[in-house]
Amino acid sequence: MLEKPHQRTETETLGEFGLIRHLAGGFVPRLESTLVGVGDDAAVIKQHDGQLSLLSTDMLLEGVHFDLSYTPLKHLGYKAAVVNFSDIYAMNGKPEQLVVGLACSNRFPVEALEEIYEGLALACSQYGVDLVGGDTTSSRAGLILSLSILGSVNADKLVQRSGAGPNDLLVVSGDLGGAYVGLQLLEREKQVFVENPGAQPDLEGHDYILERQLKPEARRDVVEYLAEIGVLPTSMIDISDGLSSEILHLCNQSGVGCQLFEEKIPIDPTTYAMAREFGLDPTVCALSGGEDYELLFTVRQSDYEKIKGSTLLTVIGHMTPDVNQAVMVDKSGGVHPIKAQGWTAFGNTKE
């Protein structure tokens, strides 16, 4: 009854990034300890002795971010934690303390929540993180997980999105597109099951892409490897929404352009084959698929010798001076502007 009439702008018109920038972008940090606020993978807070804290939050909703008809609850807990850790690795930091908010309707018995917590516990144990707090509550519809992670990094090791310079090499860990084609496979088998409940899902031989979707890992190994070989990236981000949108974040926040070479984008053969089976372009799966949680970063040309032998890393392009020129060179030499077509959490649900 206290409501007042609204001008009405639909959230879809801004998109997920546009919306958070619109809403939170005006918050200028005032505390001396707040070094970085909204706009990177994590906020950066100054502690004593050159030590920094990193703080990040993620929310996962049933029906938007996951489908329980093919997501085992333990995997869901594991993935929710790992996705959160990935934000801290993307700042070259170490995730340390996790808090978990969990809301669910009475459709979920205690045993279901225990399975989620088993997954959280496994992830915490694998990555050396402590689960230190939580909030549980009921929801009117479905399951909601909200995680916040506190991490740390030495001030001289912090890597933000904004440090890439012209001519820096653009590097990605692992391979891309797998999580997306894994999701397509799960959706197809779900459809088969809906149409014929007696059918058994045909998932055999697809372990790799299924694991990429259902139980991804965060690239702690890459962060540790870079420290070991003495390479400090000039900028970094994790790939949650697809290669192209993450490249654009690095370009925009660093004020540089980039030249990406399609033929260099690492795609696993099983990802490639499954994309083809679905009639999808494997490159598009890598560019726009998202949820791979690989690290995308830039290094100085002078560091090339140090990284070139690594099986963890692939150089896929280099940065250029003009921020308006973020392009991909395709396999036949054609040049295309890179567009953000990553997955968006807006525009696909109705109430």
Q: Which of residues 127-146 bind a second copy (CB under 8 A)?
A: 128-142, 144, 146
Dist. CA 131–CA 113, nearest whole Å = 15
Q: Is 292 within 8 Å of 208 (Cβ atoms)?
A: no
Q: Which of residues 148-177 bind a second copy (CB under 8 A)?
A: 148, 150, 152
Residue 257 backbone dihedrals phi, psi, to 5 degrees: -100, -170
Task: Decide: is 9 part of the binding site for a second copy (CB under 8 A).
Answer: yes
For residue 49, which of 153, 148, 202, 142 has the smallest C-alpha distance? 153
**What distances in angstroms separate CA 64 from CA 31, 79, 88, 145, one per listed residue?**
35, 15, 23, 12
Task: Decide: is 76 part of the binding site for a second copy (CB under 8 A).
Answer: no
Member of 193, 225, 261, 343 binding a second copy (CB under 8 A) = 193
| Of residues 305 and 351, the one with the C-beta less far from a second copy | 351
Q: Between β-strands 51-61 and 144-154, what pairing exists: parallel, antiparallel or unpaired?
A: antiparallel
| Of residues 192 and 227, the one with the C-beta less far from a second copy | 192
Q: Which residues of 136-150 are buried (b: 16+ CB within 10 A; e: fewer)?
A: eeebeebbbbbbbbb
Contact region with a second copy (CB under 8 A), list: 5-13, 258-266, 276-284, 303-311: 5-13
Q: Is 313 within 8 Å of 307 (Cβ atoms)?
A: yes
| Of residues 13 and 167, the one with the C-beta less far from a second copy | 13
Q: Is 51 within 8 Å of 94 (Cβ atoms)?
A: no
Q: Which of residues 11-70 bind a second copy (CB under 8 A)?
A: 11-14, 16, 19-20, 22-24, 26-27, 29-31, 33-34, 36-38, 42-43, 45, 47-49, 51, 53, 55-59, 61-65, 68-70
| Of residues 70 and 180, the one with the C-beta less far from a second copy | 70
Task: Decide: is 188 part of the binding site for a second copy (CB under 8 A).
Answer: no
Member of 72, 165, 166, 255 binding a second copy (CB under 8 A) = 72
| Of residues 199 and 273, the one with the C-beta less far from a second copy | 199
Q: Is 261 within 8 Å of 190 (Cβ atoms)?
A: no
Judged by CB under 8 A, the number of residues near a second copy is: 103
Task: Decide: is 204 part of the binding site for a second copy (CB under 8 A).
Answer: no
Dist. CA 143–CA 112, nearest whole Å = 11
The DSSP H or E segment spanning 136 is strand 130-138
Member of 88, 103, 164, 171 binding a second copy (CB under 8 A) = 103
| Of residues 102 and 258, the one with the C-beta less far from a second copy | 102
Task: Decide: is 301 part of the binding site for a second copy (CB under 8 A).
Answer: no
Q: Which of residues 221-280 bind a second copy (CB under 8 A)?
A: none
| Of residues 39 and 266, the one with the C-beta less far from a second copy | 39
CB of 269 to a second copy, least distance (A): 25
Task: Decide: is 122 part of the binding site for a second copy (CB under 8 A).
Answer: no
For residue 241, which of 16, 13, 42 has the smallest C-alpha distance? 16
Alpha helices in the chain (DSSP H): 15-24, 73-89, 110-127, 178-195, 207-214, 220-228, 243-254, 269-277, 282-288, 304-307
| Of residues 259 and 344, the one with the C-beta less far from a second copy | 344
